[in-house]
């Protein structure tokens, strides 16, 4: 097997990983009890003291934390270290309510960058690689995380940030970037631009590390084919550190969770009950090594499945599936649960690009659902009859998937604004 970054940790035996988790959890609970009055109060309300948590088997006793807690405790209420010991903040890209601000000590940054370095090595990255980081830099964790990881691996790092597509392509061709890190929607846009400019022969990319938003298997295939690369998923969230909480390996069958730093649970999002391995439910993380922002049992709202089957790559840490949607992304339209990922899978199956917008409104006390989707240059037509027939086919396919009527509006290629970061797919006018 190829030697990779932190190989001893990533291929440790189950017994060793369990031992790390038990020991670190006990220490972390004591740290939080001693330093985070907000969480201590939550534990006291449940009649708990650190002595009640002897290992991972007791984890289920601890109270959950949610985004509401983060907002309530904003900005300093969940700090586990004096501010003087913190060296950085990052913040969520959320558009509603108060932003979430996460704090890091130098130790926290080091561990986070280790996680991102593992992700880069897992896609075949090494010292000889040129890593183009086109995630946003700044408050968003994407740029900073992959940048730090690329340095640890020893790649030549191109700190591009997102946007300025001309410059991205110029550096990509001139400097021979071999690894591209950005959101999948920006990767699709870059692929489209490379195609249009006839640059395919001039790029040397071999792999992409794409995450921060949902993307389907079909979108992966499209990006892989148009760029001639392998496209790997990476997952993370600001509250837990940023990208690199979990990452894909060569098997491309789910993302290994860095279990030496994070304990993952799957719960029933309605009851909070812990579900057995292999069940679909809400992902919950407990940070067992972080100092400054040590969240315990944080509810991510991401719906997914964990998998403990051995992986052909040799890594022993369990894997998570692609998130199948966020429980708070779920739209309720005419009383029916609709996930944007369901709509996307229908569009991609029918040969449309992942450039679409979902518009929900309420007219005469009744919900309406409209999907605006671009035609491809290949199936583009300005014949009204042809467009009507294409729209009818999509309406039928969406009805079969969702069980409700969605109006479809086909628009010309390039009509919908391209995204350089996370794509905005949903416009819910009921909330405006």
Q: Which residues bind ligand DLL (CB under 6 A)?
A: 92-93, 135, 141-142, 211-214, 233-238, 242-243, 300, 302, 322-323, 326
Choice between 31 and 290, CB closer to ligand DLL: 290
Q: How far is the CB of 419 from ligand DLL (least distance, A)?
A: 13
Choice between 180 and 410, CB closer to ligand DLL: 180
CB-CB contact of 108 with 291 (8 Å): yes
Euclidean distance between CA atoms 334 and 264, whole angstroms: 34
- List the one residue out of 92, 64, 119, 42 whose CA is nearest residue 284: 64
Q: Mapping DSSP to helix (H, G, I), strand (E, B) and coil, where does residue 187 land?
A: helix
As a dihedral over the C-alpha atoms of residue 348, residue 350, residue 353, residue 354, rounded to 10 degrees, the angle is -30
- List the one residue out of 32, 38, 28, 177 whose CA is nearest residue 111: 28
CB-CB contact of 324 with 104 (8 Å): no
Name beta bridge partners: 274.
267
Which distant-in-sequence residues (6+ apart) come within 8 Å of 228 by Cβ? 200, 205
| Phi, psi dihedral angles at 381 (to 5 degrees) | -150, 150
Q: What are the tokens at 255? A: 């993302």
Which string of b and e fits 6-19 if b means at least 16 CB within 10 Å? Answer: beebbebeeeebee
Choice between 135 and 339, CB closer to ligand DLL: 135
CB-CB contact of 193 with 324 (8 Å): no
Choice between 243 and 353, CB closer to ligand DLL: 243
As a whole number of Å, the end-to-end CA separation of the chain is 54
Choice between 302 and 367, CB closer to ligand DLL: 302
As a dihedral over the C-alpha atoms of residue 191, residue 192, residue 198, residue 203, rounded to 10 degrees, the angle is -10
User: What distances in angstroms separate CA 295 from CA 61, 65, 109, 135, 270, one per listed residue?
Assistant: 15, 7, 15, 25, 21
Choice between 96 and 366, CB closer to ligand DLL: 96
Choice between 286 and 300, CB closer to ligand DLL: 300
Q: How far is the CB of 251 from ligand DLL (least distance, A)?
A: 16
- Exposed, middle or buried by CB within 10 Å (0-12, 13-18, 19+), for 400? exposed
Choice between 17 and 330, CB closer to ligand DLL: 330
The answer to whether the Cα torsion of 259, 260, 262, 266 is positive or negative is positive
Choice between 100 and 371, CB closer to ligand DLL: 100
Which residue is nearest to ligand DLL, using beta carbons? 211
How many of the other CB atoms lie within 10 Å of CB of 392? 11
Rg of the chain on CA atoms, in Å:
22
Choice between 107 and 326, CB closer to ligand DLL: 326
């Amino acid at each position: 097997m190829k030697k990779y970054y932190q190989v001893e940790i990533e291929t440790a035996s189950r017994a060793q990983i369990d031992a790390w988790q038990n020991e670190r959890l006990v220490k972390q609970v004591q740290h939080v009890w001693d330093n985070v009055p907000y969480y201590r109060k939550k534990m006291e309300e449940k009649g708990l003291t650190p002595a009640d948590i002897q290992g991972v088997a007791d984890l289920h006793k601890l109270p959950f934390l949610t985004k509401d807690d983060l907002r309530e405790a904003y900005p300093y209420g969940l700090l586990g270290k004096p501010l003087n010991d913190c060296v950085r903040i990052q913040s969520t890209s959320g558009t509603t309510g108060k932003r979430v601000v996460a704090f890091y000590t130098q130790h926290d940054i080091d561990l986070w960058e280790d996680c991102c370095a593992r992700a880069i090595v897992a896609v075949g990255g090494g010292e000889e690689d040129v890593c183009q980081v086109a995630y946003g830099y700044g408050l968003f964790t994407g740029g900073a995380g992959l940048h730090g990881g690329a340095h640890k691996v020893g790649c030549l790092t191109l700190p591009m940030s997102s946007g300025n597509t001309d410059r991205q392509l110029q550096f990509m061709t001139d400097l021979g970037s071999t690894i591209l890190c950005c959101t999948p929607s920006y990767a699709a846009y870059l692929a489209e631009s490379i195609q249009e400019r006839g640059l395919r022969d001039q790029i040397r990319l071999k792999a992409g590390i794409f995450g921060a938003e949902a993307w389907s298997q079909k979108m992966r295939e499209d990006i892989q084919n148009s760029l001639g690369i392998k496209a790997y998923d990476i997952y993370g969230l600001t509250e837990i550190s940023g990208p690199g909480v979990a990452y894909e390996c060569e098997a491309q069958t789910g993302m290994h969770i860095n279990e030496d730093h994070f304990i993952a649970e799957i719960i029933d999002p309605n009851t909070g009950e812990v579900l057995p391995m292999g069940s679909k439910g809400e992902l919950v993380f407990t940070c067992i090594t972080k100092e400054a922002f040590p969240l315990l049992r944080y509810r991510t709202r991401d719906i997914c499945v964990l998998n403990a089957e051995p992986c052909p790559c040799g890594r022993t840490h369990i894997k998570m599936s692609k998130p199948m949607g966020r429980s708070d992304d779920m739209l309720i339209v005419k009383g029916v649960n609709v996930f944007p990922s369901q709509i996307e899978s229908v569009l991609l199956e029918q040969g449309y690009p992942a450039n679409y917008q979902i518009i929900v409104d309420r007219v005469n006390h009744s919900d309406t659902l409209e999907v605006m989707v671009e035609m491809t240059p290949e199936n583009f037509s300005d014949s009204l009859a042809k467009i009507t027939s294409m729209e009818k086919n999509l309406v039928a396919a969406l009805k079969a998937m969702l069980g409700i009527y969605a109006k479809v509006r086909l628009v010309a290629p390039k009509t919908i604004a391209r995204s350089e970061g996370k794509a905005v797919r949903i416009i819910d006018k009921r909330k405006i």
